[in-house]
């Protein structure tokens, strides 16, 4: 094994109120849920900023434009602390359910809001709920977004996200079997760097209680979750000379006292390893684009 390069960072999804009012059909949201989003945008952000300042960490705050317009004072604290602010929809829309016209409108408005707020165009994007569409990567290319954080082709290496040319046929048992027995077509790289998403390094499903919603729990021990995250880090450190370790968190989850304590332990553990560099996701993407970290090529599919 050679000299280590370990690029570590936090992606902070500041869903705030937007994630709760994205009811998709316009139905009213429970005011208590909205208050949880307000907690995240206020108390949660303040606690995370204090944590990051203590450990000299610059993070990426993926922020719905609704959050910037609804909580400008709080987001100014994020900006003034030198953190990256990336795209995350307007009201945390699940883009697979939007038309191309709607997707384009949301992306353009979000870019305009973030550019006006920060003074520079955003460079990164993460899809709300990591719910993507076939149009996403081409739209990001068209709007000069250099990296995405939504796909899971790899978990510990950067790569160029596949473009929209590959396709597959879903199984439809109402039709003859011959209609679906076809391979996926060949993957071809886009110009968009992927800083991979990973549900196993995300705080929401295990730590955010949402009664009645499958896939969330809310009462997992942070010591068990810490073990899960750090076992992935240990594997990567043993297997690779260079890798990235992007963690995805939310202020309304990781801003809670017991979760802040978990992050303190995780940061302290990671910092005991040689070669560790904390950075925003934009810097990870630039390291890959400029050839300073190898990454991987994603292959697959038939011609």
- Residue 18 domain flag: yes
C-alpha dihedral (62, 67, 71, 76), degrees to nearest 10: 30
What was the pLDDT predicted at 236? 98
User: For 41-73, what is each residue's pLDDT tens digit?
Assistant: 999 999 999 999 999 999 999 999 999 999 999
**What average pLDDT does this structure show over 165-187?**
96
Q: What pLDDT, in 10s, does the model give residues 142-152?
A: 999 999 999 99
Residue 241 lies in a domain: yes
Tokens read off for 71: 């909580």
Average pLDDT of the residues in 112-130: 99
**Domain membership flag for residue 94:** yes
- Tell me, what CATH number does 20's domain have? 3.20.20.370
C-alpha of 154 from chain center:
14
Nearest to 246 by CA among 163, 180, 151: 151
Domain-embedded: residue 212: yes
Q: Which residues contact 272 (CB under 8 A, 6 or more apart)?
A: none
pLDDT digits 0-9 by tens, 216-270: 788 899 999 999 999 999 999 999 999 999 999 999 999 999 999 999 999 999 9
Q: Is the pLDDT score of 1 beyond 70?
A: no
3-class DSSP state of 211: coil
Q: How many domains does the chain have?
A: 1
CA distance 62 to 116: 16
Domain span at residue 116 reads 5-289
Does residue 79 carry a pLDDT above 90?
yes
Instruction: Tell me, yes or no, whether 39 lies in a domain.
Output: yes
Task: From 62, 129, 53, select the one nearest 96 (Cα to Cα).
Answer: 129
Residue 299 lies in a domain: no
Contact 121, 142 (CB under 8 A): no
d(CA 17, CA 107): 19
Q: Which of 288, 285, 284 is nearest to 276 (CA)?
A: 284
Residue that is written with structure tokens 């963690």 in the block:
247
Tell me the CB-side half-sphere exposure of residue 204, using CA atoms within 13 A.
Answer: 22
Asked if residue 217 is part of any domain, the answer here is: yes
pLDDT tens digits, 180-230: 999 999 999 999 999 999 999 999 999 998 877 776 788 899 999 999 999
Q: How many CB atoms lie within 10 A of CB 21?
A: 16
What span, in angstroms and rounded, lies between the C-alpha atoms of 246 and 126?
Answer: 12
**DSSP conformation class of 96:** G
- Is 115 part of any domain? yes
More confident residue, 24 or 79: 79
Q: How many CA atoms lie within 13 A of 159 on its CB side?
A: 20
Give the number of residues written for the chain. 303
140 in Cβ contact with 192 (< 8 Å) = yes
């Amino acid at each position: 094994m050679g000299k280590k390069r370990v690029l570590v960072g936090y992606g902070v999804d500041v869903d705030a109120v937007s994630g709760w009012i994205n009811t998709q059909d316009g139905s009213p949201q429970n005011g208590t849920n909205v208050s949880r989003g307000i907690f995240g945008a206020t108390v949660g952000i303040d606690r995370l900023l204090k944590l990051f300042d203590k450990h000299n960490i610059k993070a990426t705050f993926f922020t719905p434009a609704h959050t910037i317009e609804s909580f400008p004072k709080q987001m100014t604290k994020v900006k003034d602390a030198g953190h990256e602010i990336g795209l995350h929809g307007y009201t945390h829309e699940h883009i697979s359910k939007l038309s191309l016209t709607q997707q384009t409108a949301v992306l353009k408005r979000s870019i305009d809001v973030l550019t006006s707020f920060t003074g520079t165009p955003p460079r990164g994007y993460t899809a709300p709920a990591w719910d993507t569409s076939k149009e996403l990567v081409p739209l990001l290319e068209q709007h000069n977004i250099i990296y995405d954080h939504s796909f899971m082709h790899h978990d510990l290496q950067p790569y160029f996200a596949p473009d929209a040319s590959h396709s597959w046929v879903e199984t439809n048992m109402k039709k003859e079997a011959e209609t679906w027995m076809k391979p996926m077509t060949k993957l071809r790289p886009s110009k968009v760097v992927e800083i991979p998403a990973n549900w196993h390094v995300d705080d929401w499903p295990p730590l955010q209680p949402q009664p009645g919603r499958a896939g969330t729990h809310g009462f997992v021990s942070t010591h068990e979750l810490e073990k899960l995250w750090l076992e992935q880090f240990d594997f990567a450190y043993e297997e690779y000379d260079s890798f990235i370790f992007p963690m995805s968190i939310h202020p309304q989850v990781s801003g809670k006292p017991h979760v802040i304590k978990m992050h303190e332990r995780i940061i302290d553990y990671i910092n005991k390893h040689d070669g560790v560099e904390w950075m925003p996701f934009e810097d990870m993407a630039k390291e890959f684009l400029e050839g300073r970290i190898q990454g991987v090529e994603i292959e697959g599919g038939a011609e």
